[in-house]
Structure 1
Amino acid sequence: MQDLEIYVRDLDPVRLAMWLEANLDQILVPPTPFGNKPGLFKAEGRYSDSLIRISVYAEAFGKRFSSVVLEGERLPWDSDLACARSAWRALETEIRCSQGEWQEGDPVQDEKWWRLDERGEQLVVWN
């Protein structure tokens, strides 16, 4: 099972739905509020005959960033960064993702993230 996670600044749900529709073969369940947890949305789609589960967590990292997690046997992208690049082009807002080297227990102050915005792609400390 693969999983990708990106963080989207000031997420526009309509643009997110359009991006998902453009990159998955089929949307089975559009992003829908889930349970009684405010800010949690779930969706499902298909890509290359694989079920894709999508979770969106509003205000996951501060008030302005939402986490978008895609999980499935096959995904349209092979890395968080490739997913972030696609999202940045479609969503037209700042996208962040892990560079993939940080591990649980590593000092947070040393953690670098990819930031994609109108200035380009840069490795930055989140704060």
Structure 2
Amino acid sequence: MQDLEIYIRDLEPGAVSGWLENHVDQLELNDRDVASVIKGFARYEGDRVRISLYPGAFGKRFTSLVIEGPRVPWNSDLDCARSAWRAMETEIRCSPGDWKEGEPVEDEKWWRLDHRGEQQVVWN
């Protein structure tokens, strides 16, 4: 199972489905109201992919997007974040890829993609 996770700042209703419909098939994601947890599905290369949105991640302004399946449309969180940034034009953050569940994240550097470009930053 592969998974991707990115964090979207000030997510607009419909933005995720509008972006993903160009990358997956049979998208079933109702993101017209992004104030609560949203679960959906799609197909990618014939396999079922789970899509989850979790608002309020790292404070109230970010929504966590998790995409899970046997195959996913991007090779890394950063590739996914780049695609999301191009489509949504709002700040996107993701892990640099070396963090493992259970490890501390206090000094963790994250990729931040926004109008200033791509930078590694401490979250706060």
TM over 0.5: yes
Determine the structure 2 residue equivalent to 1:95: 92
Structure 2: gaps (5+ residues): none
- CA–CA distance in structure 1, aligned partners of residues 105 and 67 of structure 2: 24
Gaps in structure 1 of 5+ consecutive residues:
none
Deviations 1:34-89 (A, max 9, x none): xxxx7110110001001010000011110100000000011110100000000000
Residue 36 (structure 2) aligns with: 39
Q: Distance in 2 between the 1:45 and 1:19 partners? A: 13
* Counterpart contact for 1:32–1:43, Cα < 8 Å: no
Alignment of 1:7-22 (within 5 A): 7-22=7-22
Q: For residues 68 and 116 of structure 1, what CA distance do their matches in structure 2 show?
A: 15
1:102, distance to aligned residue in structure 2 (A):
2.3
Deviation at 1:106, TM superposition (A): 4.2
1:97-122 superposed Cα distances (whole Å, 9 cap, x missing partner): 00012234544332000000010000
Letter paired with 2:30:
P
Query: Normalising by the residue count of structure 2, what TM-score does the alignment of the two structures yield?
Result: 0.91
Structure (1 or 2) with the greater helix fraction: 1
Give the % identical residues. Answer: 62
For 2:102 and 2:3, how far apart are their aligned partners in 1? 21
- Find the counterpart in structure 1 of residue 114 from structure 2: 117
Count matched residues: 122
C-alpha RMSD over aligned residues: 1.6
SS at match of 2:81: helix
